[in-house]
Amino acid sequence: MKFKGQHILSTKQFDKNGLLAFFEVVKKMEKVLEDAVIHGKQSKLCEGKILATLFYEPSTRTRFSFETAMLRLGGRVISNFDMLKTSSAVKMETLFDTGKVVSQMADVIAMRHPEVGSVAELARFSDVPVINAGDGSGDHPTQGLLDVYTIWKEKRKLNGLTVGIIGDLKHSRVFHSQCEILKFFNVNFVLISPKALSLPDKFKKEIGKFVEVEDLSKVIDDLDVISVNRIQTERFQSEKEAEKFRGKFVVSSSIMKKAKKDAIILCPLPRREELPMEIDNDPRAKYFEQIKNGVCVRMALFCEIFGVTV
């Protein structure tokens, strides 16, 4: 698994040993981040580098996380968070030209787009590495990395864990990325969703063995990892269609009473009713820790892409 000078477009680029080695780099980044946040020591690991964030789809975490990662490493950022409305995409500029042009100015590009494959399309024409920050219902490789890093950090292992993946498994690129990474480890997959939102066959083939259920309460006491995500309303034909599935799975405090004492709850956020605020104070809730881990994962990725040794 080599990152130096490479585009990061898909979780398919990762492998087991490479992931474990990468997680060790992320761990070092936790120290770099702590030095910056607590001791005011600015890292210069990416001094002189410029990140361009091109977002054709809304984001709170991912864009800020990439930008924070670059800033914490001493680099700088140029950003457009509304490419569909305020870039020359409005004037029918092609992804070819956007990739070619932005790569004359930035050293690395992080891009999000609503269409599967569009980030890879822009990357074909970019002269600098491009990172997929989410392409439609396709892939979200850095989210997958930070989710699995959080499990590895919290549980101190991956092999042998029982991982429940709960919600809209059909459309969630986060779940698709999680499956593609967790498949390298000997985890027991429990897929929890309404039948109409079940994991696409291509991912089922990748993970091999799994259990599928519709009712979270039937399996909650088996789970070491409770990975939940919202209904991806933006991927449905209409909001009304999505509403049919709302409230079918809720990680409530009453259901958490039946969960293991050392289980962990993950969520990429944003959340809706599936993750009520009542469990934010449950020590098993790790979704805000995930945010900090995400910054460290992206810091590590920049260092690897630029060949910077920590």
Residues lying near ligand CP in the complex (CB under 6 A) are found at 59-62, 134, 143, 268-270
Question: How far is Cα 5 from Cα 202, in angstroms, rounded to an integer?
Answer: 29
Question: In this structure, what are the phi and psi dihedrals at residue 228, rounded to the nearest 5 degrees?
Answer: -120, 145
Min dist CB 181 to ligand CP, Å, is 15
Is the C-alpha dihedral spanning 30, 33, 38, 40 positive or negative? positive
The active-site residue, picked from 28, 61, 155, 292, is 61
DSSP 285: B
Q: Are 54 and 98 in contact (CB under 8 A)?
A: yes
Residue whose CB is less far from ligand CP, 103 or 177:
177
In the set 7, 49, 53, 62, the catalytic residue is 62
Nearest approach, Cβ of residue 292 and ligand CP (Å): 13
Q: Which is nearer to ligand CP, 72 or 298 (CB)?
A: 298
CA–CA gap between residue 97 and residue 178 (Å, rounded): 32
Q: How far apart are CA 49 and CA 117, in angstroms?
A: 26
Least Cβ distance, residue 195 to ligand CP (angstroms): 26
Query: Is 112 annotated as catalytic?
Result: yes
Question: From the CB of 294, what's the least distance to ligand CP, in Å?
Answer: 8
Pick the closer one to ligand CP by CB: 65 or 193: 65
Smallest gap from residue 233 Cβ to ligand CP (A): 13
Q: What is d(CA 13, CA 301) in angstroms, rounded to the nearest whole number?
A: 13
Considering the complex, state which of residue 45 and residue 165 has its C-beta at the smaller distance from ligand CP. 165
Catalytic residue selected from 7, 63, 140, 173: 140
Sign of CA dihedral 65, 164, 24, 134: negative
DSSP state of 69: H
**Quick check: is 113 catalytic?**
no
Q: Between residues 60 and 88, which has the closer beta carbon with respect to ligand CP? A: 60
Please state the closest distance from residue 82 (CB atom) to ligand CP, in A: 14
**Residues whose CB falls within 8 Å of the CB of residue 114, separated by 6 or more in sequence, listed in order:** 56, 57, 135, 136, 234
| 99 or 141: CB nearest ligand CP | 141
Among the listed residues 7, 49, 63, 112, the single catalytic one is: 112
Give whole-number Cα distances, 128 to 8, 74, 115, 220, in Å.
11, 19, 21, 45
The angle subtended at Cα 297 by Cα 28 and Cα 134, nearest 5°, is 175
- In the residue annotation, 257 being an active-site residue is answered as no
62 assigned to active site: yes
Catalytic residue set? 61-62, 91, 112, 140
